[in-house]
Amino acid sequence: MDQSEQAFLRSVFLMEAWDAVGAMEGALGALSQAERPTIGDDHPLVMLSHKLQGAAAVQGLTDVAGLAAALEERVTKVVGVRTPALAPDVGDIVEAIKRSLDDVGRATSAGDGGSRRTAEASADDILDYFAAEAAEHLDTMTKCLLALEEAPSDGEIATLFRAVHTLKGAALTVGCRSIGELAHRIEDVIMAVRDGVVPLGPAVIEAVFAGTDALRLLLAQPEDETEHLATTRRHAEHTLVELLPATNGASPDAVPASVPVGETAPEPAPPVAPAEDVVPVAAPVLAPPDPARRPARRASIRVGVERLDSLMAVVGELVIARRGLEGRLAQIDQVADVLLASRKRLVQAVGDFERKYAYPQLRKVERAEDASSEFSELELDRYDDFNILARSLAEIAADVYEGRAELAGLVRTVRDDAAHIRRLTGELRAEVTHARMVPIGTLFARFARPVREAAKAAGRHVVLQTSGESAELDNAIIEQIADPMLHLVQNAVWHGIEPPAERERTGKPATGTVRLNARHRGSFVYVEVEDDGRGIDVEALKAGAVAKGLLGADAAAALAPEKALDLVFLPGLSTAGAVSLGAGRGVGMDVVRTNVSRLNGEIEVESQAGVGTRVTLKLPLTVVISDALLVRVGGETLAIPQPAIRRIVALREPDVQRVGGSEFLEVDGEWLDFLRLDAVLGLDARPVGRKTAALVLRAGGRSLVVTVDELLHKEEIVIKDLGAFLEGVGPFSGTTISGDGRLTLVLDPSALGAAARAGAGARTPAPPRRVEPASRGVVLLVDDSVSVRKVVGGMLARAGFTVHTAVDGADALEQLGERPVDAVVTDLELPRLNGYELVEAIRRRPATRALPVIVLSSRTGEKHVQAARRLGVSHHVTKPVSEATFVRLVASLLDAPRAVAAGENGHR
Amino acid sequence: MTLPRRDAAEARRAPSPVRPHVVFTSGGVPFAFDAAHARHVLRAAAGDEVRFLDQPYPLVDVRRAFGHPAGDAGFVVLVESRGRAGLQVDELRGIAAIDPGALAPLPAVYRGTERRWIAGLHPTDDGVTVVVRVAELLETLGAVP
């Protein structure tokens, strides 16, 4: 067994041992407070000391085992003894066990395995911080180069030099030698430019740009330099070195000497080949690093010390508030003691009274002995037992009243404390949210280079202007809008800005402008991508939509220009007549809108022919915390992000219109898809006739109506990512934890909208027809297990089939009535309608009678197979399946195209 | 070395409900199971099974079983319950103290066989850990003789 495994097992032991010690201390405390303590064979102290002794012995920890044995011996001595007196050193033994466990813990973490892991972890942390810092320096370098390209400036050269110099030092310090060395080459060139040795010209700018590109690639894969990357780096180094005069060639000794003051001096860099020794290499094509090969790296952001101080201040206040609350608990304990004492007095008074009056004989004797009987009532005030009881009860009542009043006061104070803590946790949440915020300028800076490259490739003169860079957004949002923004920016250059000659002909300056602007408004940031180009040709858009069958000619003619602009978001439709590969990064405007909608944002396009186009993204400040409406659907509580809720409408069932297999509801004169959430999510359907609520949701640039059983309340939720665990389960973006510890899934209206669109497809006359990608055929996969749906669905999708999934037989039948399907793959054991019933129903319907059906089940008995055969099942396949065989089987069934049309519309 | 076996009755009598759980990831999702079922940890291995103390442990590709995209496993965790198996997992995150009685139930939208082998969900600071029942998982995966 190697050391890491040993450490793993030791950590398991330590975890259990500390659990046991904690429980022992609890048991000792309970014993000391018990009125009549007893220790039986199964007392926790007996069990735990024995268990700890055994576990420690197995681990070879003789000290701990010996101490646990000593404890067990002392405890077992008093087993069964009434009011046992534990040996006085029991507490000391428990303390000694804790000290020994501490020693074991320290020894474990100091071992090779532990220290190695710690070192690895800290190295990862350092690389994370370095990556964030290096990205900033590279952005600065790009900005300086673009400025220098426009006009040489000593200030820009100095800034560029500082950036590359610091980057080099940091890279060498954290051990990223190849980054450090390449930065060193750039630094040599910039230094030569600064000193007037090398003139600043296009060759220098290009070479340094190539160097920064290579640095970015290296930064993405600092630990795993591929051959392609190594070639790119060598080429960049070679280009840079060639710019330098021979005497100023690469000097390896300069590397450590130029580490910024105050930083740890790195190890000397290995010798770098001088200029004349560098073998010229062909310029490689710069390719983005392969994400699959990229080492997993946690995203990191830099947080200012002031912000951390604010966080700590709130944490400090929380600690104080917690102490205050603990003080209140002590006060409540005291009041409880007072009430307990009052109860005892009450029991005593009533007991005395009862004793006297329940036994009259005894009372007579007592009265006979009463010495005061020789006085008349006028001579001596007499307090008989009733007077005494009444007085005692009055006193006790007064004490109880006082206790209750004190308790009520404390409850009020605790409520105030709770409100205070709630406020503090709110502040803490806000601070953490702020800590995740980064200025959008960091994103804008990334587009300077692509604009330059795109303009060069497209033969345009373009200047990029930015404003509102200080507007802050959640880092997660920044990363998610980077690609869509890049697409918009490149679109603006390729399709928006006209060639210089054309611009001059129309009286515009030869150089076009692309503007990026950001501004805060409420809890949203509006980001604009604007150009002063030719604008979008609305008529060409309409014609394109009609030509592709996405829109009828009449509908196109009736479409108002501002509505027609929305056509740019249809899949497969270009924003310009001249579609160029230059702007195509595999992301269309439909994908841009989907990505924005996924963030609960919105996108809007405005355009004027000959004047320009503006695309505005409305983005929430953060995706981690959101206001949400909690709703009940089919017995489940779901959270719906508030920004996605357009309005809540009263629902009258008769208003819902059914067309084909779909339902629609008219809201504000517009017919919207109407979805019953319980059915969509496969949850228990609400009882018929029960009142429901309907919500109009924004879902990926369109609206749809969903019904829920009950509207609960609004809540600020913290969204937690469930990652792949949510895939295939339904239209959810994450989960949140409710006050009672339950998980509440967060609905993703965009995904719901996409599902509705997919379902709507051919059945609705009004919405544009969905365009199916080229496919080997459409397979409906029916299984109640999400795992099977994902695994088998993945196999088929990889093989080029379009896969739709259904969660049970009823769902499958419903889908068969709505969309064309070429084959069905179904499990036998399914909720609502089982596999046999499904096949029976398929064979009954004329439209689906000939549909090939494959049963995929773990039921392999002859009886099951025969029953399926009798119903006309094409093949019976046993789970689990071999991917190649299964795909071959499905393909063979679809060779002769046999499609089933939607509903009663006949064959496809 | 084998992990100390936990007597079921003893476990029931233990006063603390919190149990050490082995936490691993598959397809980026953190999963956990009671450490009492863990027998050994190995670096990822190729083949259909591994042998440990003369016992065969059929290898189970957890990514595939859980329906995650294919990927390279980093470790094999040998587990025993009613059957035994070597779970091929991406990454071992270590041990976490989890109270099985305080798990959040699986939302009703999960309706497949996963309901059998998922004991519940354990919220953490940065997400949610899916706690699995090893016996039921092995049974579902056919690793129970």
What length does chain B have?
145
**Contact of A489 with A514, CB cutoff 8 Å:** yes
The residue with greater pLDDT, A644 or A272, is A644
Closest residue, chain A, to B129 (C-alpha): A722
If pLDDT is split at 50, 70 and 90, which confidence band does A249 have?
very low
Q: Do B20 and A783 touch (CB under 8 A)?
A: no
* Model confidence at B23: pLDDT above 50: yes
Which tokens sit at A329? 């608990």
Q: State yes or no: pLDDT of A499 exceeds 90.
A: yes
- How far, in Å, CA of A713 to CA of A708, rounded? 13
Q: Which of B33, B43, B111 to mutate to test the interface with A (most CBs of A within 10 A)?
A: B111
Q: pTM of the full predicted structure? A: 0.47
CA of residue A353 relative to chain centroid, distance = 69
Residue A122 has pLDDT above 50, yes or no: no
Which residues from chain B sit within 8 angstroms of residue A12, using beta carbons?
A: 3, 20, 35, 38, 95
Q: Report the b/e string of A350-368 with b at 16+ CB within 10 A.
A: eeebeeeeeeeeeeeeeee
Mean pLDDT of A415-425: 83
Q: Is the peptide bond before A880 cis (omega within 30 degrees of 0)?
A: yes
Quick check: is B3 in a domain?
no
The span from the CA of A700 to the CA of A402, in Å, is 62
Q: How confident is the model at residue A285 (pLDDT cuts 50, 70, 90)?
A: very low
pLDDT band at A376 (very low <50, low <70, confident <90, very high): low
**CA nearest B77: which of B46, B37, B117, B121?**
B37
Interchain CB distance below 8 Å, A784 and B112: yes
Burial A598-635 (b: 16+ CB within 10 A, else e): bbbbbbebbbeeeebbbbebbbbbbbbbbebbbbbbbe
Nearest to B13 by CA among A257, A44, A371: A44
Packing angle of the helix pair A475-491, A448-458 (nearest 10 deg) = 20
B130 lies in a domain? Answer: yes
Nearest CA in chain B to A680: B109
Given a cut of 90, whether residue A514 has pLDDT beyond it is yes
Q: How far is A68 from chain B (nearest CA, A)?
A: 16
Name the residue facing A790 among B15, B67, B123 (closest C-beta): B67
Give the pLDDT confidence score for residue A807 in this predicted structure: 80
Shortest Cα distance from B76 to chain A (angstroms)? 12
**A573 vs A193, more confident:** A193
Over residues A670-703, the pLDDT tens digits come to 888 888 888 888 777 766 556 678 899 887 667 8
B interface residues, A as partner, C-beta within 8 Å: 1, 3-4, 10, 13-16, 18, 20, 27-29, 35, 38, 40-41, 64-69, 92, 94-95, 97, 102, 104-105, 107-114, 121, 123, 126-128, 130
pLDDT grade for A518, boundaries at 50, 70 and 90: very high
Q: Rg (Cα) of chain A, in Å, rounded?
A: 38
Whether the predicted pLDDT of A260 surpasses 60: no
Q: Which residues of chain A are within 8 Å of residue B68 when distances are taken between CB atoms? A: 724, 727, 790
Tens digit of each residue's pLDDT (9 = 90 or more) over A30-42: 777 777 777 877 7
For residue A117, name the pLDDT band (cuts at 50, 70, 90): very low
Within 8 A of A43 by CB-CB distance, chain B residues are none
Higher pLDDT, A342 or A831: A342
Residue of chain A whose alpha carbon sits nearest to that of B125? A720
Decide if pLDDT at A858 tops 50: yes
* Residue B110 forms part of a structural domain: no
Determine phi and psi for A774, rounding to 5 degrees. Answer: -55, 130
Residue B10 lies in a domain: no
Looking at the domain assignment, is residue B8 inside a domain?
no
In b/e form, how buried is each residue of A33-72, taking b as 16+ CB within 10 angstroms?
eeeebebeeebbbbbbbbbbbebbbbbebeebbbbbbbbb
Indicate whether A799 pLDDT > 90.
Answer: no
Q: What is the pLDDT of residue A688?
A: 52
Beta bridge partners of B79: B38, B85
Question: Within chain B, where are the H helices?
Answer: 8-13, 62-65, 114-117, 134-140
Q: Which residues of A touch B35 (CB under 8 A)?
A: 12, 15
Query: Rounded mean pLDDT of chain A?
Result: 76
Q: Are A865 and A858 within 8 A, CB to CB? A: no
Q: In chain B, what residues touch A634 (CB-CB under 8 Å)? A: 108
Given this model, what pLDDT does residue A380 score? 59
Q: Can you read off the two tokens belonging to residue A680?
A: 């969509």
* Tens of pLDDT, residues B66-83: 777 777 788 899 998 888
pLDDT band at B119 (very low <50, low <70, confident <90, very high): very high
pLDDT score, position A689? 55
The arithmetic mean of pLDDT across residues A323-345, rounded, is 86
- Least confident window among A426-435, A599-608, A721-730: A721-730
From the number of C-beta atoms within 10 Å of its C-beta (0-12, 13-18, 19+), residue A695 rates as buried
Q: Above 60 in pLDDT, residue A736?
A: yes
Q: Report yes or no on B100 lying in a domain.
A: yes
Q: What number of other Cβ atoms are within 10 A of residue A88's Cβ?
A: 8
- Report, as an integer, the average pLDDT of A897-908: 35
Tell me the count of A-B CB pairs closer than 8 A.
140
The average pLDDT across A41-46 equals 79
- Predicted confidence at residue A528, as pLDDT, reads 94
Query: Are A183 and A235 contacting, i.e. CB atoms less than 8 angstroms apart?
Result: no
Within 8 A of A680 by CB-CB distance, chain B residues are none
Query: Can you tell me the ipTM of this complex?
Result: 0.73
**For residue A283, is it left (φ>0), alpha (ψ between -120 and 50) or beta?**
beta
Among A231-240, A498-507, B3-12, B49-58, which range has the highest average pLDDT?
A: A498-507
Q: Which among A11, A742, A783 has CB closest to B104?
A: A742
Adjacent-strand bridge partners of B77: B41, B87
Kindly list the residues from chain A whose CB atom is less than 8 angstroms away from the CB atom of residue B20. Answer: 12, 15-16, 19
CB-based burial, B80-110: b 16+ in 10 Å, e otherwise = bbebbbbbbbbebeebbebeeeebbebbbbb
Measured distance CA(B59)–CA(B64) in Å, rounded? 12
Shortest Cα distance, chain A CAs vs residue B110, angstroms: 7
Per-residue pLDDT for A616 more than 90? yes
Amino acid at A60: G
CB contact under 8 A, A729 and B123: no
Per-residue pLDDT at A272 exceeds 70:
no
Number of domains in chain B: 1
User: What is the phi-psi region of residue A634: left when phi exceeds 0, alpha when psi lies from -120 to 50, beta otherwise?
Assistant: left
The chain A residue lying nearest B2, using CA atoms, is A9
The answer to whether A626 and A641 have CB atoms below 8 angstroms apart is yes
What pLDDT, on the 0 to 100 scale, is given for residue A497? 93
Closest CA to A139 of A394, A344, A445: A445
pLDDT above 60 (res A332) = yes
d(CA A854, CA A93): 68
Q: From the list B15, B66, B109, which residue is nearest A27 (CB)?
A: B15
Residue of A4, A16, A45, A808 to mutate for B, most B C-beta atoms under 10 A: A16
Please give, one letter per residue, the 3-state secondary structure of A424-451: HHHHHHHHHHHHCEEECHHHHHHHHHHH
Percentages of chain B per state (helix, strand, coil), in multiples of 5: 20, 45, 35
Residues of B in contact with A19 (CB under 8 A): 14, 16, 18, 20, 97
Share of chain A above pLDDT 70, in %: 78
Measured distance CA(A721)–CA(B29) in Å, rounded: 9
CATH number at residue B93: 2.40.50.180
Specify if B80 maps to a domain.
yes
pLDDT tens-digit map of A137-157: 888 888 888 888 888 888 888
B31 within domain boundaries: yes
CA distance A362 to A355: 9
Kindly tell me if the per-residue pLDDT of A113 is higher than 50: no
Tokens 């370098």 correspond to what residue? A141
Residue A578's pLDDT is 41
Mean pLDDT lowest for which of A34-43, A307-316, A368-377, A578-587?
A578-587
Which residue, chain included where needed, has tokens 């259990």? Answer: A16
- Give the closest residue to A180 by CA, choosing from A188, A190, A169: A169
Range of the domain at B39: 19-104+118-140
Residues A340 and A567: their CA atoms lie apart, in Å, by 76
- Per-residue model confidence (pLDDT) at position A366: 53
Q: How far apart are the two ends of chain A, measured CA to CA in Å?
A: 63
For residue A761, the model assigns a pLDDT of: 40
Q: What was the pLDDT predicted at A757?
A: 62
Nearest of A841, A761, A830, A758 to residue A789 by alpha carbon: A830
